[in-house]
Structure 1
Amino acid sequence: MTDLTTLKMYSKAFSFYWPETTEIHLITTKEAAKLYEIIITQIHEELFRAFCAEAVRQLDEA
């Protein structure tokens, strides 16, 4: 039990369950958490880039 930790997977803004309210957490070992943190960071960066690209596209259409 002492080797367990929790990682926040998504912010409240990205919640599919209850937007702006629900956070998703992953309970895992500390060793595995290091790998998951890299993956989670990459996913968040990709989502942010996609959001920015869509915002620019919409501005160009306006």
Structure 2
Amino acid sequence: MFLRLIEKDECEKIYKILNLVEKRETEENYFIKYLLIQIKNMRGEINANKKKRKKMVF
């Protein structure tokens, strides 16, 4: 994905902007939410949450 080409500092700035834009209810939000998921995945947040859930189940 193109997000891997973005440096982490720039990624944080984009993440903050997308969070602000996401609050508006529009049809374009599907793409914005997709980008947010990709950035969170890059930051390891989603993977960390999955690991926590698995640990809690056992």
Give the TM-score normalised by the residue count of structure 2. Answer: 0.35
Structure with the bigger percentage of helix: 2
Structure with the bigger percentage of strand: 1
Give the TM-score normalised by the residue count of structure 1. Answer: 0.34
Q: Which has the larger radius of gyration?
A: 1
